Structure 1
């Protein structure tokens, strides 16, 4: 799960802000939509962000909002991204577990962090039925999936021949 720690609300210049915002940060007076609009964008995010299903936003050590992520889109030339999604409400398991409660991330310098939680999991890509969080495979399952596919072709050498033919690769050394 993606976690974003906010500072207090402050004004920004809409003419220079990549999203045209006039404020960022948190204030008790902000509506849910105002909080989302002010803070869903212009974050330095790693490649893991695109794999996350949910984001939580905290201020003052308390989670203030939960979002189901639709997509993460790069914006501008500075390597920053926008998180597009749907604001979650009471009755959703992520909202009920986190919003209004102590943040699972405390005392970090970087405003962007990740939390491994089971509810953010998705199926292991090998097809085993296991659940992974923040990765594509359970440990070692990437190799199992690869070798299962090689076995469908035959030997490793036969797999390499097939792969090179399909990809149009020129054989190196042999």
Structure 2
């Protein structure tokens, strides 16, 4: 199995970047043709070159990388550096393991109108050209707030650990007991107001 893209151990400055409001910069090297039959993501090219479609660039950028530890799993967004310029932005949905101890991103391409795309794509890479393909940088767009209403920042998902349950119990308490909440919900909820795709 061929793994043409590997991460050089991170520098101290990379590791000490604040996790609050952080994003990932994926820096692509020069174009290299590979055999799809031996590439773990079945690609024919790795590295940056002009003329790539959005999907081709996404497939090249998402892996395969050496990304040990849990920090990489906490970040929500990544931008793709090709030739010193950010060429694409993605929202990370999860990190998947690849045979051989490497990993890859899974997520969606962010287009015009999304704040991360508009802030970075087409502009100089925040970390410049790096030997290390995976680096972190601080960004005002890196975090959202926990949806429980506590105001604390989150980098992945919708809630801080345990805050979804806390939000549910706080709202039940505003009505009364669990029995009171169920009675109130059954009286106020209308089937035609269910989110799209939810069975009535």
TM-score (norm 1): 0.69
> Which 4+ stretches in 1 moved above 4 angstroms?
none
Query: Would you say how many aligned residue pairs link Structure 1 and Structure 2?
Result: 134
Provide the C-alpha distance between the structure 2 equivalents of 1:48 and 1:67, rounded to a whole number of angstroms: 17
> 1:24 maps to which residue?
46
Using a 3 Å threshold, how does the CA distance of structure 1 residues 132 and 116 change in structure 2: closer, same or farther? Answer: farther
Instruction: Give the C-alpha shift of residue 87 in structure 1.
Output: 0.6
Which 5+ residue runs of structure 2 have no aligned equivalent? 1-22, 157-200
> 2:57 maps to which residue?
35
Q: Please state if 1:114 is matched with 2:136.
A: yes
Cα RMSD after superposing both structures: 2.3
Provide the C-alpha distance between the structure 2 equivalents of 1:107 and 1:119, rounded to a whole number of angstroms: 21
> 1:94 maps to which residue?
116
> 1:171 maps to which residue?
none
CA contact (8 A) 1:7 1:26 kept: yes
Provide the C-alpha distance between the structure 2 equivalents of 1:122 and 1:97, rounded to a whole number of angstroms: 16
Instruction: Give the C-alpha shift of residue 48 in structure 1.
Output: 1.4
The structure showing larger relative contact order (alpha-carbon pairs under 8 Å, at least 6 residues apart) is 2
> 2:10 maps to which residue?
none
TM-score (norm 2): 0.61
CA contact (8 A) 1:65 1:87 kept: yes
Provide the C-alpha distance between the structure 2 equivalents of 1:23 and 1:82, rounded to a whole number of angstroms: 16
